[in-house]
Amino acid sequence: MTIYFISSNPQKVKEIKELTAGRIAIQHINHEYPELQLDTIEEVARASANHIRHMKWVKTPFFIEDSGLLIHALNGFPGPFSAFVFDKIGNEGILKLMADIKDRRAVFKTVIAFCSGVNEEPRLFTGIVEGRIADSIRGSGGFGYDPIFEYEGRTFAEMSTEEKNRVSHRGRAFMEFLNHVEDSGIAVGASSGAR
Ligand code: ITT
């Protein structure tokens, strides 16, 4: 069975194709959808999936994923506003906000919202990774906030996709999600049933 992934972000699609390879068959649907400004990434993901499941163009089962960067010293900002903030001020802007702040702890979070059918409420799967905001922009890989998110001494932009996937928020959320779809039999008939 094919599971549809709805996103307008090609870099996410690349990571997700690698994460799911050999376990489930994913088909990407490049479709924009409204992202409500809600208080948490979980609420945004749930609201988006609930919106999408009533759309004419939807195919099921499907999932979307919403991710964000939460900076400890900024009380979890930008969190659910990560896309907006990235568009407006980018990594340079975040580094400016963090100038003179010693506590550089930050968390990346991914929430996957999965709907097995149009009448089903979304089911959520979450993954986080704890790291820190780097002192400067480093690396040319990845996307978004990767050049300023440091994990064990290297930014995500200094890692290959495979290295990032092994430890990332997205990689961890996908391990939960893949276990669920395999255990519940949804993924039966995928390109390979092997774990
Ligand atoms: P969708 O169509 O899938 O929603 P998006 O780019 O809007 O794509 P998000 O809302 O989930 O995705 O992302 C929020 C912001 O966080 C956005 O600016 C992304 O570039 C950034 N981001 C998401 N995942 C990231 C990752 O793994 N590394 C670095 N930045 C990331």
Q: Which domain holds residue 85?
A: 2-183
Residue 191 reports pLDDT greater than 80:
no
Q: How many domains does the chain have?
A: 1
- Strand residue runs (E) in the chain: 2-6, 25-29, 62-71, 77-78, 105-115, 123-133, 149-151, 154-155
What is the reported pTM? Answer: 0.94
Asked if the structure places residue 33 within a domain, the reply is yes
Asked if the structure places residue 195 within a domain, the reply is no
Radius of gyration of the chain from its Cα atoms, rounded to whole angstroms: 17
- Report which DSSP code applies to 154: E
Asked if the structure places residue 13 within a domain, the reply is yes
Q: How distant, in Å, are the alpha carbons of 5, 9, 93, 145, 168 from that of 87?
A: 23, 13, 10, 11, 22
Asked if the structure places residue 17 within a domain, the reply is yes
- What is the rounded CA–CA span in Å between residue 127 and residue 95? 24
Atom of ligand 1 nearest to the CA of 15: 27
What is the overall mean pLDDT for the chain?
Answer: 93
Asked if the structure places residue 35 within a domain, the reply is yes
Asked if the structure places residue 152 within a domain, the reply is yes
Q: What is the pLDDT of residues 48-71, one digit of tens each?
A: 999 999 999 999 999 999 999 999
Residue 192 reports pLDDT greater than 50:
no
pLDDT for 185: 81
Q: How far is the CA of 110 from the centre of ligand 1 (A)?
A: 9
CATH of the domain at 99: 3.90.950.10
Asked if the structure places residue 48 within a domain, the reply is yes
* Residue 146 Cβ < 6 Å to ligand 1: yes
- The angle formed by the CA atoms of residues 37, 76 and 86, to the nearest 5 degrees, is 60
Phi, psi of 89 (to 5 degrees): -125, -15
Confidence band of 170 (pLDDT split at 50, 70, 90):
very high
- Mutational pocket test of ligand 1: of 5, 8, 9, the residue with most ligand atoms within 8 Å of the beta carbon: 9
* Residue 174 Cβ < 6 Å to ligand 1: no
Asked if the structure places residue 190 within a domain, the reply is no
Residue 187 reports pLDDT greater than 80:
no
Q: What is the pLDDT of residues 78-137, one digit of tens each?
A: 999 999 999 999 999 999 999 999 999 999 999 999 999 999 999 999 999 999 999 999
Residue 190 reports pLDDT greater than 50:
no
- Residues above pLDDT 70, as percent of the chain: 95
| Annotated active-site residue in 66, 100, 135, 146 | 66
Q: How distant, in Å, are the alpha carbons of 91, 95, 133, 145 from that of 71?
A: 13, 11, 8, 12
